[in-house]
Amino acid sequence: MKKVLEMHFRNETGKEVTILVNDPKDGLTAAAVSTVMQNIITKNIFSTASGDLVQIVSAQLKSTDFSELA
């Protein structure tokens, strides 16, 4: 099973930006992810071609199962 943490932000121009984290650790909480996302904004860790990240939009964990067919 593959897991991905999707963190969605809005940048200075209003465009939505998604940061993906493959294989996030087990037991993540909404509070922990929210804290990390706020730190990304506060410390200006990432910048986009359209400007800095300025707002948290959402976050979600996605899981995908793969089965070999042949």
First to last CA, the chain: 18
CA distance 40 to 37: 5
Is the pLDDT confidence value at 36 over 90?
A: yes
Is the pLDDT confidence value at 65 over 90?
A: no
Is the pLDDT confidence value at 59 over 90?
A: yes
CA distance 40 to 49: 16
Query: What pLDDT, on a 0 to 100 scale, did the predictor assign at position 40?
Result: 97
Residues 38, 42, 47, 4: what is their CA dihedral angle, to the nearest 10 degrees? -20
Is the pLDDT confidence value at 47 over 90?
A: no
Domain range annotation of the chain? 2-63
- The residue type at 35: T
Region 40-53: what's the mean pLDDT? 93
Share of the chain above pLDDT 90, in %: 81
For CA atoms 58, 62, 30, 53, give the dihedral sign: negative
